[in-house]
Structure 1
């Protein structure tokens, strides 16, 4: 009886190792994104499933949420990290200039910081400079209020 239990434990362990090894091979990397930004696999519950994977037009992380295309791009600067959100709508991916956009950034120590993004008409995107410089991973929840309609996207960047 002990031999049977031992064999079942060993067989189960080998099966789990096989599943873990198979899952690691499925992870894809985006050669267009900088090493400082890595995409988050989660999408908000309100996101509609896409027929094909969304493509980054600006080299950032992408979340499709209903009729909206959110693309998050970061760029390090001397004063901090520039956070850009390209908020586009429809199949033609037209810019949405009239939204109220906020970024809720979680610091590596667990504290939260909320930032208001301003629309840059020339660049046709929303932007803010994040002053945090602590090394680590920063999860970001972007929320856009478009005439009362809420659109969310979750992203990360690394300092």
Structure 2
């Protein structure tokens, strides 16, 4: 009887090992890809959380979102993306000698048309806990909003982008390491 139980345990364990090896699938963490939308009576406020890296691209592909429009130009600028309502926010932070250059691509619609008339600010929390608000100005030539921080503290930075487009308020949350 002991041999029978021992044989059964070995067989069951082996079966579980093979089952685990065969599944080999990847698990996705949906909690980092949540997009929240909040409506108020006076105005509309939309908040999104950034998707970064390859998981963002995979999620967009799963939703049937094309990264190219009719002329074949790519929309991606290599940054973190938040899709909130009809708006597409893409945040790019690039470290430079004198600080960090911040770029925000604010686009709308299926064709990702640039929104040049927004009022945009970035609320930044640096790794040392300091809070800073930086206005982002529109660069008509590059079709993006830009700003710069001079803080050289190393570690994770948290960024909240606040944009107002024709009375509609948008918020996007991003992060980067320096």
Q: What's the TM-score, normalizing by structure 1? A: 0.70
Q: Which has the higher helix share?
A: 2
Query: Deviations 1:6-39 (Å, cap 9, x if unpaired)?
Result: xxxxxxxxxxxxxxxxxxx5358xxxxxxxxxxx
In the TM superposition, what are the counterparts of 1:52-63 in structure 2 within 5 Å?
A: 52=63, 57-63=76-82
Aligned residue pairs total: 123
Partner of 2:93: helix, strand, or coil?
Answer: strand
Q: Measure how far apart 1:53 and its partner are.
A: 7.5
Task: Give yes or no for the alignment of 1:26 onto 2:18.
Answer: no
Task: Give yes or no for the alignment of 1:116 onto 2:135.
Answer: yes
Contact 2:128 2:153 in 1 (8 A): no
In the alignment, which residue of structure 2 is the partner of 1:73? 92
Partner of 2:148: helix, strand, or coil?
Answer: strand
Partner of 1:98: helix, strand, or coil?
Answer: coil
Q: Counterparts of 1:153 and 1:83 in 2: how far apart (Å)?
A: 14
RMSD: 2.3
CA radius of gyration, larger in: 2
In the alignment, structure 2 segments of 5+ residues that lack a partner are: 1-25, 38-45, 49-59, 68-74
Q: Counterparts of 1:47 and 1:65 in 2: how far apart (Å)?
A: 7
In the TM superposition, what are the counterparts of 1:38-57 in structure 2 within 5 Å?
A: 41-45=33-37, 46=46, 52=63, 57=76
